[in-house]
Amino acid sequence: MFQFFNSPVLLIINIKSMKNTLALQKEHLCFGGKVAYYSHLSDTCRSQMNFAVYLPPQAKSRPVPILYYLSGLTCTEDNFTVKAGAQKYAAQYGIMLVAPDTSPRHTGIAGEDDDWDLGSGASFYVDSIVAPWQKHYQMYSYITQELPALIAANFPVLPQKQGIFGHSMGGHGALICALKNPDRYLSVSAFAPICAPMSCPWGKKAFTAYLGTDKQQWRDYDASELVQKNQLNNNILLDQGTADPFYQQKQLLPELFESACQKVGQPLNLRWQSGYDHSYFTIASLIEDHIRHHADILCR
């Protein structure tokens, strides 16, 4: 049984039917709940993986819904946890937040730290099928299978009530995870997501490296393609700042996703935020709306 509020400095939790253990690195009281950082040896990624959680005060007495947040390029589990200001609203609604790292690290792959938009901190949340990445870069399976199993086994949560959101590359990750698993994620939203990676420089570079040159493989990880096959029951919330330099550089392409949603009748609330950019200042400004969006669905 998980004892979150009486844990020592370093807590090792045994995981049923899994070879690895979950190690608590540090924790902090926050809005009556706790922020905590964990590491574990991932069977999926064959490396140590890190994630942060916020367990709201309601979890002291009952299981709570889960909301996964996927960060963008160069980020770790710390960026959202420290900068977004989400804990106040997660405490208000009684939702657990889970923020994983953005990739495996220190795997020994040659060149994994050479480019800021490929390798470490830049997994694009896909399952790689191309050497040398495929041995460790199985982030789609990690996010959708291994990590939820860890959370369900070790925290007081309601696994049937989970949502997902993210920023930039992580917004792309949130969209594809939800669209590929419409029965698993009840709610989804994104800040400035990469909406059509097949059509932007970031996506073309990453998909070629991780998935090869067969663009049929790419379609399985492009939200603007996936939404034409799978639709969600609930409205998707997207926020895009008009002063976002990456939007202006045609890296994000929300219009392509909007058009694809319109074609198939997928409910979408694409909000254009005048003067806002790609930073965590934007995320902090809009985070309350996103937590409320998820709470309206997960806390029914």
Question: Looking at the annotation, which residues are catalytic?
Answer: 168, 244, 278
Q: Residue 165: what residue type? A: F
Measured CA to CA, the distance from residue 293 to residue 288 in angstroms comes to 9
The secondary structure of residue 127, as a DSSP letter, is B
Q: Residue-wise over 175-194: b if at least 16 C-beta within 10 A, else e?
A: bbbbbbeeeebbbbbbbbbb
Distance of CA 226 to the CA centre of its chain: 17
Residue whose C-alpha is closest to residue 270's, from 258, 280, 278: 258
The secondary structure of residue 168, as a DSSP letter, is T
Q: Are 267 and 299 in contact (CB under 8 A)?
A: no
Helix residue spans in the chain (DSSP H): 77-83, 87-93, 139-141, 147-154, 169-180, 201-211, 215-219, 223-226, 245-248, 254-264, 280-298
Q: Residue 50: what residue type? A: N
Measured CA to CA, the distance from residue 275 to residue 252 in angstroms comes to 16
